[in-house]
Chain A
Amino acid sequence: METQIFGHFIEDLSENMEYLKIGMLPNCLSVKQSWRANGLSAEFIANYVQTFFVGQPKNTNAPIPIQSKQAVKYIANELLENAMKFNDGTSQRFIEISFKLYNDKLIFHVTHDINPKNVEKLKFFLHQIINEDPHDLYFNRMEENATSDDKGSGLGILSMVCDYSAKIGWKFQIPKHAAPVTLTTMVCLNI
């Protein structure tokens, strides 16, 4: 198994955290049902996290602070939508989303098998987001998308970085033999 890391990827952190993991088997539901399940799961996570934010001071300069229910729902929903879009349809692996809540940060991990056709395209995008100004990239993508439709344009990821000041990392786990590549996307938000 070969592991490739891109961006700001944090795997193991100290303890003292709240932790929740949700798993979904994507092939059990229709696309429409799965999409609705994304929103419901994101809503549940946002409500769950909200209980820990009550009375806590905001210690972030993000344009959209993560303390609001909408903000947590947005991040969780975008991660689940991306996982659903790029999931390997032949895989029996659960799409898993988890969050860990620390005193100063909220960290999401989303893991799923990725369709091999999407691996190189995603890596190209990751190089762009790591090496270019994400704000320029965000608005350039908005302009480009206004005249063309491109599934997986990366706007969701770019909005997390630019609007929510998220730090994002990716881990590809590539098996030696012909087997699906597993992708974990990590999003870290200061709270």
Chain B
Amino acid sequence: MEIKTEDYSVVYDNNSDMIVCEGSLLLNSSAEYAPILDLFNTAADKQAKLLTLDVRKLEFLNSSGINTFTKFVVNVRKKQVLQLTAIGYGEIPWQVRFLKNLQRLMPALVLKLE
């Protein structure tokens, strides 16, 4: 499954158990983010045990986008059986803060800051 535009891409690969987000997400409100949230939640439904969220190449995320990731993490938290891992770059302050905020919402989230 994938959503690709000239500004961003969100790709779920069930062979690697990964969702990879790239580019700039500046969409308007939860309505425009709905397809991305659907992709996230579909991936969480299909994965039995492990899922990795890779945001290393995500360059920008507005607050509606943060809200979308928040909804996804709370959804995964409810499942209890799915181990979610998030990957970002430790040298990019906004990615570190964003992923740590997600971990505060879901303490079982594993962070990999490269």
Contacts and interface: CB of A to CB of B under 8 A. Distances in A.
A74 interface: yes
A38 B28 CA distance: 11
Contacts of B42: none
Interface string A60-86: 000111001011011001100100000
Interface in A48-70: 63-65, 68, 70
B101 A163 contact: yes
A187 to B, nearest CB: 14
A180 interface: no
Contacts of B67: 142, 145, 153, 155
Interface of B: 24, 26, 28-30, 59-60, 62-64, 66-67, 70-71, 74-75, 92-94, 97, 101, 104-105
Chain A interface extent, by class: 20 to 34
A130 interface: no
Of residues B30, B63, B92, which shows the largest number of chain A Cβ atoms within 10 Å of its Cβ?
A: B63
Contacts of B66: 155, 159
Interface of A: 31-32, 35, 38-39, 63-65, 68, 70-71, 73-74, 77-78, 81, 139, 142-143, 145-147, 149, 151, 153, 155-156, 159, 163
Contacts of A155: 63, 66-67
Q: Is the interface of B mostly helix, strand, loop or mixed?
A: helix
B97 A139 contact: no
B94 A74 contact: yes
A77 B94 CA distance: 15
Q: Is the interface of A mostly helix, strand, loop or mixed?
A: helix
B79 to A, nearest CB: 13
Of residues B26, B30, B64, B71, which shows the largest number of chain A Cβ atoms within 10 Å of its Cβ?
A: B26
Contact of A65 (B93, B104, B105): B93
Contacts of B75: 146
B26 to A, nearest CB: 5
A77 B64 CA distance: 12
A11 to B, nearest CB: 26
A186 to B, nearest CB: 18
B28 A35 contact: yes
A143 B74 contact: yes
A71 B93 CA distance: 9
A134 to B, nearest CB: 13
Nearest to B72: A146
Contact of B26 (A35, A64, A156): A35
B94 A71 contact: yes
Contacts of B101: 139, 142, 163
